Structure 1
Amino acid sequence: MRASPIIPTVDFSAGGVQHGFLRLPYSRDDSAWGSVMIPITVVKNGEGPTALLTGGNHGDEYEGPIALFDLARSLKAEEVSGRIIIVPAMNYPAFLAGTRTSPIDRGNMNRSFPGAPDGTVTQKIADYFQRVLLPLADIVLDFHSGGKTLDFLPFCAAHILPDKVQEAKAFELVSAFGAPWSMKMLEIDAVGMYDTAAEEMGKIFITTELGGGGTATAKSAGIAKRGIRNVLKTAGILKGVTDASETTWLDMPDGNCFSFAEDGGLIEPLFDLGEAVRNGDVVARIYPVGRTGVQPLEVRAKMDGILAARHFPGLVKSGDCVSVLAGVISGITE
């Protein structure tokens, strides 16, 4: 396979703090010899594991970029034992546009792995992570939130894995992150995901969902900023004591967690995030908007649980995710 066209302006083996770019040549109408310049920071000092920290996998999710731009400006080499690689906005074109997918090629970064060095811009970025950055890492934290179309309870998550040692290490870091909620997560569409690429390499992978609606709040950004430092301290990469906080564990056991709109219209939520829902409850109504006097479509829960995510904003299309339920794991509050 051909080499990646991406050229880093940092040296991943050098000590100290480096701020630079992953430069991807991209010829376009307004810049014949232009480039996509993806910001990156590398902090290395002494011996220890490597943490790869990423945000902006989807460009309309902001808690991760806030936490990682802040961490990149404030880290000092003497605080670190090992190496920290920070990419605040993986899909940089999407991040600049404020869209989930890239405005260049409509590429969804989190469905583009393993990528291709001779593919689209999004595929080239994914390929660089697949073949260069992920192999350097021991621990991977990829920040997500709901973007413009979902709103979540703030949680940190990892996946149930065949390798129980790898799984246990991931859930240890989820607990250390210290979000108000911690999730044992089920993915409904794992093909091409960054998560899957990292886990298949044996990396300890954790992720988040920290709100949504296409913005961040002081609370959600604070959870992200505190959580990443807790993870790095627990991993022995960053000096200091973790800022412990209570977390409640949730799980998503199967596809019954998810409800989808079978028609479009105006959505009326009947439960708020964190509220208890019983199997068969109407979690939302969808009103047809073409005329008055028409009965709304009722979306019913298929399990007992709490409302962990909901559609955002007020209009839905057929096929949109309306709600996500999660079960509370009794007795696992830390």
Structure 2
Amino acid sequence: MIQNPIRPTLSLDAPGKRHGHLKLPYSRNDSAWGAVMIPITVIVGKPGPTALLTGANHGDEYEGPIALQALAHEIEPEDVTGRLIIVPYMNTPAFRAGTRVSPLDQVNLNRAFPGAPGGSVTQKIAHYFNDTLVPMADLVVDFHSGGKTLDFVPFACAHYLDDATQQAACVAAVTAFNAPYTLMLREIDAVGMYDTAVEEQGKTFVTTELGGGGTATARSAGIAHKGIRNVLKHAGILPGAPEIAPTVMLDMPDDDCYHTAPEAGLIEPMADLGETVTQGQPLARIWPLDRSGAAPAVVHAQRDGVVVARHFPGLVQLGDTLAVLAVEAG
């Protein structure tokens, strides 16, 4: 049986606060006996639950890494009831390159689960999280934003699950995160996702989309800082009560929420993020790239809803997701 080669350089169980790496041997042209070194902090306090906290599942998404670096620096063992396993740069090769997928094998980590111990670099990372770290956790929080090709209203979200008790626990944790928007998300493609792997192990799972465009803002970083502490307070791992402000509750009732570009071209947005639209209303015009004077393709809203995501930046390819709608929950 093939064993995963990743080894932590620190104890995952010993009391106290430790910083180290998950070391993945990786032989390459410039280092025959090199390694991929994934930063990790483990903080163990009084007995209690374990939270596994990850950012940069995609390497061009920054709110999670910012919030988790701050948490690793600021939180001390005496603050913790339980254990925090903090991995700010889960997909370290992609993070260092500023890319969605790993430059080492061109694999999307968030479509690589459950991974393979004898596979490529990304498949080994997925397998280690799936088989070693996730089983240790009671709560998993995985930060996302839109990266370089999407932009979102800032939301925390849960998924529809077969287990009603597990879904209720996820919804409670997502609500405690208290982003400006709180969403029940219907994924366009859940196969191979970290989300799916975590939920299939029965864990309480929180994920986010906190902006986009391949950068963070003061607002989006602030949402991440507050949200992760709120979730940990909700779980009883950090002291105190979550800081709760009004949030807009959203739902995605069907696949008509997703709008696909019918052709490549230049996007002219006709509805902005957070705007309420009605069925049939134009969401965008797509102007051709190779000629002038031709009529644009017009993409209309397939249902009533709120614009929660849009393609970013200004050019789109055939088949890209152009816009996503959600509806306010009653």
TM tier, shorter chain?
Answer: over 0.9
- Which residue type is aligned with residue 223 of structure 1? I
TM superposition score normalised by structure 2: 0.99
Residue correspondence of structure 1 range 190-269 to structure 2 within 5 A: 190-269=190-269
Unaligned runs of 5+ in 2: none
CA distance in 2, matches of 1:218, 1:46: 33
- Which residue type is aligned with residue 178 of structure 2? G
Q: 1:51 aligns to what SS in structure 2?
A: strand
CA-CA distance at 1:243 after TM superposition? 1.5
CA-CA distance at 1:257 after TM superposition? 0.3
CA-CA distance at 1:2 after TM superposition? 1.8
CA-CA distance at 1:170 after TM superposition? 0.6
Stretch moving more, 68-77 or 237-246: 237-246
- Which residue type is aligned with residue 289 of structure 1? L
CA distance in 1, matches of 2:102, 2:276: 37
Alignment match, 2:172: 172
Residue correspondence of structure 1 range 5-154 to structure 2 within 5 A: 5-154=5-154
- Which residue type is aligned with residue 165 of structure 1? T
CA distance in 1, matches of 2:109, 2:65: 15
Q: 2:292 aligns to what SS in structure 1?
A: coil
Size of the aligned set, in residue pairs, is: 330
CA distance in 1, matches of 2:14, 2:259: 49
Q: Cα deviation per residue 1:168-194 (whole Å; 9 max; x = unaligned)?
A: 011101111010000001011000000
Q: 1:48 aligns to what SS in structure 2?
A: strand
CA-CA distance at 1:265 after TM superposition? 0.7
CA distance in 1, matches of 2:3, 2:42: 22
TM superposition score normalised by structure 1: 0.98
- Which residue type is aligned with residue 240 of structure 1? G
CA distance in 2, matches of 1:279, 1:204: 35
CA-CA distance at 1:240 after TM superposition? 2.4
CA distance in 1, matches of 2:89, 2:249: 28
CA-CA distance at 1:15 after TM superposition? 0.5
Q: 2:23 aligns to what SS in structure 1?
A: strand
CA distance in 2, matches of 1:256, 1:238: 40
- Which residue type is aligned with residue 140 of structure 1? V
Alignment match, 1:276: 276
- Which residue type is aligned with residue 55 of structure 1? G
Residue correspondence of structure 1 range 179-194 to structure 2 within 5 A: 179-194=179-194
CA distance in 2, matches of 1:233, 1:2: 39
CA-CA distance at 1:297 after TM superposition? 0.5
Alignment match, 2:313: 313
CA distance in 2, matches of 1:43, 1:255: 41
Q: 1:49 aligns to what SS in structure 2?
A: strand
Q: Cα deviation per residue 1:242-282 (whole Å; 9 max; x = unaligned)?
A: 22111110011111000011210100000111101111111
